[in-house]
Amino acid sequence: MAVTPTLTALQVMQDAPVIPVIVLTDPKHAVPMARALVAGGIRMLEITLRTPQALACMELIAREVPQAVVGAGTVRSASDAQAAAMAGARFAVSPGYTHAVGHACRELGLPLLPGVATGSEIMMAQEDGFTELKFFPAMQAGGAAMLKAWGGPFGDVRFCPTGGVTLHNAPDLLALPNVACVGGSWLVPFDALAQGDWARIETLAREASGLRR
């Protein structure tokens, strides 16, 4: 039986202008990084399942930083979704879309932002009831021009463009009526993590949270 989510995909997208796309390789970075992002006004944190340490990092943030809302990125299978939910994730983001991933997230009560890059993928996600989607890889797949073109046939869809998005091109994307937020890795640079420069991450988060949409 499907679990009713306590959070909707639209609420995830509308909480702040940017969802940070985070790659963590050391669990000791997880909590201070999350606290820095929250202090800068960013609560929705997409921890990507790209490293063996990702699930442990999610668990730490979910337990130690209650102000943050932990999400799982790079969800590619039902087992990914299940593991993320067990680790405390409250939403999921996928690089593409399959019926299996959509069904698993619905059963788990995890709001899902499915990744799409073509009209056919949008239609497949919509058939399964998803209208808040991740456009990925956004800049490589057409950027703002593609989103403007989709505004006609898919006027009922809201997008989170991710992939190649920066502080400099984010405002152009956020100005589009079908864009609810953007996803970006620039908020948590690898060198800032390695150096434990939490003040820099907080500053980047504050800049991102101040973007207009």
Tell me the pLDDT tens digit for each residue of 106-149: 999 999 999 999 999 999 999 999 999 999 999 999 999 999 99
Largest CA distance in the chain: 46
- Reading the block at residue 157, the tokens are 């869809």
Contact (Cβ atoms closer than 8 angstroms) between residue 134 and residue 115: yes
Q: Which of 102, 90, 171, 109 is nearest to 132 (CA)?
A: 102
CA distances from 44 to 37, 105, 145, 205 (A): 9, 17, 27, 11
- E strand segments, 12-153: 18-22, 44-48, 69-73, 91-93, 112-113, 115-116, 132-135
Distance of alpha carbon 166 from alpha carbon 187, whole angstroms = 9
121 as an active site residue: the answer is no
Contact (Cβ atoms closer than 8 angstroms) between residue 126 and residue 99: no
In terms of pTM, does the model score above 0.95?
A: yes
- Reading the block at residue 132, the tokens are 């808040």
Annotated catalytic residue within 46, 127, 202, 207: 46
Contact (Cβ atoms closer than 8 angstroms) between residue 45 and residue 71: yes
Annotated catalytic residue within 59, 107, 132, 134: 134
Three-point CA angle 192, 194, 195, nearest 5°: 65
132 as an active site residue: the answer is no
9-206 CATH: 3.20.20.70
pLDDT tens per residue, the chain (213 residues)? 577 678 999 999 999 999 999 999 999 999 999 999 999 999 999 999 999 999 999 999 999 999 999 999 999 999 999 999 999 999 999 999 999 999 999 999 999 999 999 999 999 999 999 999 999 999 999 999 999 999 999 999 999 999 999 999 999 999 999 999 999 999 999 999 999 999 999 999 999 999 987
